[in-house]
Amino acid sequence: MTELELILAAPRGYCAGVDRAVETVEQALKLQGAPVYVRKQIVHNLHVVADLETRGAIFVDDVSEVPKGATVVFSAHGVAPTVHTGAVQRSLTVIDATCPLVTKVHNEAKRYDQAGYHMLLIGHAEHEEVVGTMGEAPDSMTLVEHVDDVASLPEYPADQRLAYLTQTTLSVDETRSIIEAITQRYPWIESPEKGDICYATSNRQAAVKELAKLTELVLVIGSVNSSNSCRLVEVARDAGVDSYLIEDATKIDRNWIGDSTKIGITSGASAPERLVLGVIEWFREHSDGITVSELETVHEDVSFHLPRPIRRALAVVAVDPPASN
């Protein structure tokens, strides 16, 4: 393989919500020891989940699988109110690692529901975030997945209060098209005061658009169930370059590279940076030489506080640290 230029997108990888969620499980394990139960994948990345499992995290599909009285962490994607109720019924200690930006959408759903609105939720069916959001007002919400779905929506009367919400990890461009179709059909529909697609999703997609202008191939590191990672592949392809989603360096197909000399690399918001380093090392081993540069389109400095139960426990440890042997 000839000498290659690798261009890394910046920003890439962990967003503030993912970083917060992963650290929540890590701190819970340090503070109380294993096991710590986690409902669903804490974030959508198999490497992250496997690493936490080796430390003592136990991932379950439902709170009914958690022993009564144990600790359970809710994932970054958020949960429906019924899940909280189930945890209370089992006397579980809950640490809610829902991303604050997802919580924002939940709060919007509750507010609109209480005010008598019907909501159109733009998102992907079965995605955990969508399931959790729809659970806030299941009788007052309709899911819209694609722009073509808008034509089949009901003929709501003009006096019907309507609002739309979106999943936080969608394609910015595709969502814009859906919103345009919705607002054209229902001109009186209301929108959130601030868009629901999160800053990290928007920033990573914008970075990939710029990356596509400079490269012949874009590799996106992320898991297949990571919505934001899948959207990055779509964005790159829409920009006119070949793009593939890879779990890690072992999934690279040498046939993809062909005559490419400039290759873009990015990673989804739930992919740890060590996977990017692994991909760089793969190219170092399989080419006659590489150069590595970074294309920064925006600087991110967002951070979120850890969930209150973790902060309280850390404060207690700081005041009264365990005695050393």
What span, in angstroms and rounded, lies between the C-alpha atoms of 212 and 119?
A: 36
Segment holding 106, helix H or strand E? helix 100-114
pTM summary value: 0.94
Beta bridge partners of 142: 120
From 3, 5, 126, 129, active-site residue = 129
Q: Report how far residue 258's alpha carbon sits from residue 71's, in angstroms, rounded to the nearest whole number.
A: 50
For 123, the enclosing helix (H) or strand (E) is none
The highest-level CATH class for domain 4-14+199-296 is alpha beta
The CA distance from 143 to 222, in Å, is 26
Q: What's the whole-number mean pLDDT along residues 155-166?
A: 96
Domains of the chain, residue spans: 4-14+199-296, 16-99+304-319, 101-185
Domains 4-14+199-296 and 16-99+304-319 fall in the same CATH topology: no
Give me the DSSP letters along 238-256.
HTTSEEEEESSGGG--HHH
285: pLDDT confidence band, cut at 50, 70 and 90? Answer: very high
pLDDT, tens digit, for every residue of 74-89?
A: 999 999 999 999 999 9
- Kindly provide the b/e burial profile for residues 230-254, where b requires at least 16 CB atoms within 10 angstroms of the residue's own CB: bbbbbbbebbebbbebbbbbeebee
Q: Is 129 one of the catalytic residues?
A: yes
- The domain over range 101-185 is classified in CATH as 3.40.1010.20: yes
| pLDDT tens digit sequence for 102-143 | 999 999 999 999 999 999 999 999 999 999 999 999 999 999
Which overall architecture, per CATH, does domain 16-99+304-319 show? 3-Layer(aba) Sandwich (3.40)
